[in-house]
Amino acid sequence: METKQTHFKMYKSGRKWVFACALVLVLGGTATVAHADTASSSEEPESSQVTTKTSSADTSETAATNDGATKGTTSGDNQSEGTTDDQNQPDLTTDSQDGSNQEEAANKLTTDDSDQTTGSEVTNEEQDKNTGDSAQVTNNDDSAKADHSDTTTNDEAPAKIQAESLKLADDSSADAGSTALADASTINPTDTPVTAQSTVATANDAVQDGGSVYDDLSPEYNILGIPSYFHIFANEATLNTHTNGNVAVGLLHGNVNFGTNVIEALLDKDISYIQAFDKLANSSFVVQGETRDNKIVFGDGVEIDISNPNRPKINGVDMDHLTANEVFQDKNGNVYIDFAAEFAKLKQTNTEVADWPSVKDYTSADFPDQNNRVIDVTNMTPDENGRIVLNLSPDVMTSGTPITIKGLSPDEDGHTVVINVDTNGQDDYTINSEVKIIYSDGTERENHETEYFGDNHLLWNFIDRTASDKQYTGTLSFERRFQGSVLAPSADVVVANVNLDGNIIADKVTVNGETHRWDLQDRPNPGKPELPENPDIPVTLPGEAPEPAPEPE
């Protein structure tokens, strides 16, 4: 007699017949049992034949023919076998089953209602033997619906899970997953199981190691450090409108595309870091060209397939604008950017800058003509680091009229203007003032896409002076066109249906209006002495050895 190998195996032929008939009757007379081992016989009635097929298609078809009668058969007893359906059901059958079926089943069975739950007893015994845990790796919701085992009440040996049928011992890719799953089920056998694929991150040797951001960028000589190189730097970001710039985010909700567009061909590499995401538009990033390529780094939990070098697949999303050589990933426990460390620095900067000596403080009363509000920094003296610090009271930026920052340098090594904006503890602080910029040469800047960042010397530092650490933790909403980099490391920043040009640094960022990358250019090396007008006078720069003095003649 040929024996088919299944998940569960019966050891006496009489028990096979009792089990098959009983369970068929309990399920309404038409259910198909998926995991009982038996011999094939043409003399058996068709309705009581036992199938060994475990595919989801077969079990789905069976469930459909029962007119919903089997939907409740995955009771709490079966949670230990790998099912997640109807975890609160106390019985093997649902209340919607026909009463006559239940009565007929009761007459046919040699056990009472309590004996029907021996399936969970089998599982408990198997868990004690450390075999049931392995079987949970492949038990899905469909196959588990038929895994109701022995309904007899004698003292004979119960059904045993055949771990070898799962071939886990021969499948090296499942070893780590089954081990992790076994540990979890030992602690709480009734927890909803997860598959090895979802719990084990396998290193993809074909994908390049992202390394560290400090290998690619320098934090020196910029008040914002590493975040100054990213358009959006946030623990979490939601992009609902085209975002013209790169991102560094812990969790991305990328509903639209993003990336720094090639405008003047001044940027040779566009770097983005996405530690995790739940959505990523396949048109994200900008196609590399003669003057530009990309370095896109993903977290180690992201699934990357670069088998097609011209169209990588990221978490199942085909990327239209990337090639395999532009895709990188965190490996060996390292992260490209340590967000916790960087945000600790940003919060410290946010607090310290709030207390820097200011050149001038402004309130709404300092602008008698509300239709012509101008902050002129032309003749203001910067500090020793080349920075001009200003303070604004909360009412300045909530006004409905524009404010003009006049006298900024358009040169790359120009002085930096830092404006502290006090939110005064408001849960929601709304920017209703459009920001205009007039440079020292008289030119006016408008919001636009660009790769030239040398003329951005404007930093808006949003703080809360009512807080001991000066951190603003509310929602910062931009309702008017805005220019200049934004530092609000503890806040939620929401860009409404307006343009914002600059860096956006916050705990959470939501983009509902088009934003443009415009990196802050703090003085590149404020400690470097100016070269003398007379080139014949020797000057020693930091890090250089002095020239030897000429020997006397």
Burial of 462 per CB tally in 10 Å (0-12, 13-18, 19+): buried
Residue 326 has pLDDT above 60, yes or no: yes
User: Are residues 227 and 324 part of one domain?
Assistant: yes
User: Are residues 257 and 129 part of one domain?
Assistant: no
The answer to the question of residue 481 being in a domain is yes
User: Are residues 175 and 149 part of one domain?
Assistant: yes
DSSP 164: G
Average pLDDT over residues 254-269: 97
Span of 29-38, 305-314, 522-531 with lowest mean pLDDT = 29-38
User: Are residues 221 and 190 part of one domain?
Assistant: no
3-state secondary structure 281-307: CCCCCCCCCCCCEEEEEECCCCCEECC
The answer to the question of residue 334 being in a domain is no
**What are 279's strand-pairing partners?**
253
0.75 exceeded by the pTM?
Answer: no
pLDDT in tens, 56-68: 334 334 333 344 3
Q: Using alpha carbons, list the distances in angstroms from residue 390 to 363, 365, 412, 502.
A: 11, 16, 21, 19
User: Are residues 25 and 141 part of one domain?
Assistant: yes
Q: Could you give the count of Cα atoms lying within 13 Å of 19 in the half-sphere of its Cβ?
A: 30
**Residue closest to 257 by CA, chosen among 281, 288, 276:** 281
DSSP 260: -
The answer to the question of residue 352 being in a domain is no
CB 47 within 8 A of CB 29: yes
**Residue closest to 258 by CA, chosen among 286, 289, 227:** 286
User: Are residues 379 and 312 part of one domain?
Assistant: no
pLDDT score at 17 = 44
pLDDT score at 443 = 98
pLDDT score at 149 = 38
For tokens 């040699």, what's the residue? Answer: 110
Span of 101-105, 111-115, 185-189, 543-547 with lowest mean pLDDT = 185-189
pLDDT score at 11 = 33
Q: Which residue has the higher pLDDT, 173 or 290?
A: 290
- Percent of the chain at pLDDT exceeding 90: 57
* Domain housing 485: 357-516
User: Are residues 361 and 279 part of one domain?
Assistant: no
User: Are residues 155 and 214 part of one domain?
Assistant: no
User: Are residues 130 and 173 part of one domain?
Assistant: yes
The secondary structure element, H or E, covering residue 254 is: strand 247-254
The answer to the question of residue 527 being in a domain is no
Instruction: Please say which residue of 136, 170, 199 terminates a domain.
Output: 199
pLDDT in tens, 145-204: 334 334 334 443 333 333 333 233 333 333 333 333 233 333 333 333 333 333 334 468
User: Are residues 31 and 177 part of one domain?
Assistant: yes
User: Are residues 271 and 189 part of one domain?
Assistant: no
The answer to the question of residue 500 being in a domain is yes
Residue 490 has pLDDT above 50, yes or no: yes
Tell me the chain's radius of gyration from C-alpha atoms: 34
For tokens 């690619």, what's the residue? Answer: 216
The answer to the question of residue 363 being in a domain is yes
The answer to the question of residue 32 being in a domain is yes
Q: Give me the number of domains the chain comprises.
A: 3
Separation CA 515–CA 258 (nearest Å): 10
Burial of 374 per CB tally in 10 Å (0-12, 13-18, 19+): middle
**Residue closest to 24 by CA, chosen among 148, 126, 169, 134:** 148
Instruction: Please say which residue of 173, 199, 225 terminates a domain.
Output: 199
The answer to the question of residue 525 being in a domain is no
User: Are residues 373 and 282 part of one domain?
Assistant: no
Average pLDDT over residues 355-360: 98
Span of 165-174, 272-281, 439-448, 464-473 with lowest mean pLDDT = 165-174
DSSP 325: G
Instruction: Please say which residue of 314, 329, 344 terminates a domain.
Output: 329
Separation CA 483–CA 282 (nearest Å): 29
